Structure 1
């Protein structure tokens, strides 16, 4: 047994440990937030693969898929087991998700490893053949700093940089839990920064997954795949949508169009990108300006801000036909309209330009934002006793 009291220790927005009980409570709360399946919903449990199933929108896709769409299948993620330190938060969230899936009567297995590798693709294909048969849905939600190309062995690294010129922006930091507004400057992309970022965060790996599963004969008739994406505000565009990450997102969307044509011919299937709204995630907190933007967004919208679990419930309803599929002129499912409404963006822009260290507490919902960052690691979760010892050596869910 390895029960102990876990106190939050962090560097900036990065926490060194995670709290198992807090992570489980977060998953439980997300599950409770998903409505039961609609009346007359399909009786057959569709087979789904969620790549990036342990955090952020991928976790929301897994939980919403399990409860709302009744999926069974496989989740793939890359998490660290408990050792001298606790396991990663995603390790504990996956254990909690597997428990809920079992209680709901859903056969959901989770694989831990490098989703970019062909070995993982082969392991998933083998598991599908043994236990599930052909695949109905694939949700792709991967954010990673590096990717090794299985064909060449080359390792690519993604960067967060503007394209063309340096970009200076306001950003939010917490110095000893005191909110501070600073200006930071990010140097522009140089050399092969754009190509490297596209190689990691673009559509190459998503397409490789589809090809691998198709070659194994594992795509069902009418197979649907969706890659999760983000556009965001003009306030963050220079570092995001118009920067190196934006180039990768454009490549992802171009890949969706090519895959859509291909799948239509192969199995009457389709490929989409789903443009999600802003959220506090481990990836987003690393982007200059995003923390400030999301805090202001919450300050403007309050409880009207739609969390990832609400957005992904909407996505599953559209994918399964419970609700009409709504796409824009570029064929993208838009789950971000609440965020990009003109009045919302105008209000955020006004607060953005006013924001200083002295007044930021009046303009942004900092209490909510600070709690959301801690919740990423299982801390500051209502209803959890953080003075009590908690078991940290929790096993990975069985895949047999």
Structure 2
């Protein structure tokens, strides 16, 4: 068994290794932070499929589904195994920890590692639903963030980009120097060119979500009253130039349009429903790559402190609405809104004031830099309270075995 003392080594917000014990403890902390239902979940819970289950809101959806709704079923992600030189990806270790929690809770949750965009994965999932879970799926949560997607029909590979549409975008962003001090810089991103928008929509829009639903519907595997939700984000006016009004925003609009199409289809076929769930800001491996989002999130935490709602609590609310434990509350566009705590006028006004005042000299007084920097490290299992990082840990942890319940 390979054991190593692991220290955080990073290039910006990207870390070269992950800490297995830290990742496991983080998952355990999320489990503890998720409130248990008043009556407890049913012994034989609903069958759910979570696509993109190893990180961010997808991980929160998996854990909250286990605890709030007692789900069983399948969780899909795409992670790298440990090698001689490198640890596994953080999502690999988080998945192993989630599998332990599911097993301890008595829930049959199968974890699959592979390309969710492929038809081979769709077939494998469909076969499992048919053979292991009674042939009926009750819920599907779609939470996929990827740089590329290969269309399984045409073989064409599309690549997503983070660009504004129409004109260049100049925004502030947050970086950390080698000593961990926060710096505020301006970064300009050139506008989308050629087929940048179409490529990004092909990766991050609703095409693959729709293929999943059509595939499972074609196999007759969707239960009466089936519900599906794709996780999305709108964000603040401060970041809309690069996000909601940019190429990613075009993909999110396509995702929402897909929800309407799927809702009509599901309503007619199985009395089901499809919607998007708009989540609030969080520090994730995807969000840290977007210019301006790091600064915005640090400032938001500086304003809200402990009132910033973490993903696990947001997704607990989503499961309550999906299962009927709480009323389903939709906005005028038919979206579940889990971000209302973030986008109130008073909160956004204070964040906007701090944004304007933010410089390298002032940022430490305006944003919660210590929290943000620690949150980034925790994405990879570092800076997790209760972990002794001077102790060697085993890195060759196996992927959860799904050949047995």
The two structures have a TM-score, normalised by structure 1, of 0.99
Q: Tell me, what secondary structure is at the counterpart of 1:63?
A: helix
Which consecutive residues of structure 1, in runs of 5 or more, have no partner in the other structure?
none
Is the 8 Å Cα contact of residues 38 and 322 (structure 1) preserved in structure 2?
A: no
Residue in 2 aligned with 1:85?
A: 86
d(CA) in 1 for partners of 2:195 and 2:345?
A: 36
Q: CA deviation at 1:36?
A: 1.4
d(CA) in 2 for partners of 1:182 and 1:215?
A: 51
Residue in 1 aligned with 2:218?
A: 215
Is 1:264 paired with 2:285?
Answer: no
Is the 8 Å Cα contact of residues 41 and 70 (structure 2) preserved in structure 1?
A: no
Count of paired positions:
400
The 5 Å alignment of 1:337-348 reads 337-348=340-351
Residue in 2 aligned with 1:20?
A: 20
Residue in 2 aligned with 1:174?
A: 176
Q: CA deviation at 1:203?
A: 0.2
Q: CA deviation at 1:178?
A: 1.7
Residue in 2 aligned with 1:323?
A: 326
Is the 8 Å Cα contact of residues 174 and 294 (structure 2) preserved in structure 1?
A: yes
Is 1:145 paired with 2:135?
Answer: no
Residue in 2 aligned with 1:99?
A: 100
d(CA) in 2 for partners of 1:316 and 1:180?
A: 38
d(CA) in 2 for partners of 1:196 and 1:151?
A: 16
d(CA) in 1 for partners of 2:53 and 2:41?
A: 24
Is the 8 Å Cα contact of residues 50 and 140 (structure 1) preserved in structure 2?
A: yes
Give the alignment's Cα RMSD to 1 decimal.
Answer: 0.7
Q: Tell me, what secondary structure is at the counterpart of 2:229?
A: strand
Q: Tell me, what secondary structure is at the counterpart of 1:340?
A: coil
Q: CA deviation at 1:39?
A: 1.9
The two structures have a TM-score, normalised by structure 2, of 0.98
The 5 Å alignment of 1:1-150 reads 1-39=1-39, 42-83=42-83, 84-132=85-133, 133-150=135-152
Q: What per-residue deviation string (whole Å, max 9, x for no partner) do you get for residues 312-365 of structure 1?
A: 000000000000000000000000000000000000000000000001000000
Residue in 2 aligned with 1:286?
A: 289
Is the 8 Å Cα contact of residues 41 and 68 (structure 2) preserved in structure 1?
A: no
Is the 8 Å Cα contact of residues 50 and 58 (structure 1) preserved in structure 2?
A: yes
Is the 8 Å Cα contact of residues 10 and 16 (structure 1) preserved in structure 2?
A: yes
Q: CA deviation at 1:4?
A: 1.1
Is the 8 Å Cα contact of residues 51 and 58 (structure 2) preserved in structure 1?
A: yes
d(CA) in 2 for partners of 1:381 and 1:389?
A: 16
Q: Of 240, 248, 261, which residue of structure 1 is paired with 2:243?
A: 240
Which consecutive residues of structure 2, in runs of 5 or more, have no partner in the other structure?
none
d(CA) in 2 for partners of 1:365 and 1:318?
A: 32
Is the 8 Å Cα contact of residues 41 and 67 (structure 2) preserved in structure 1?
A: no
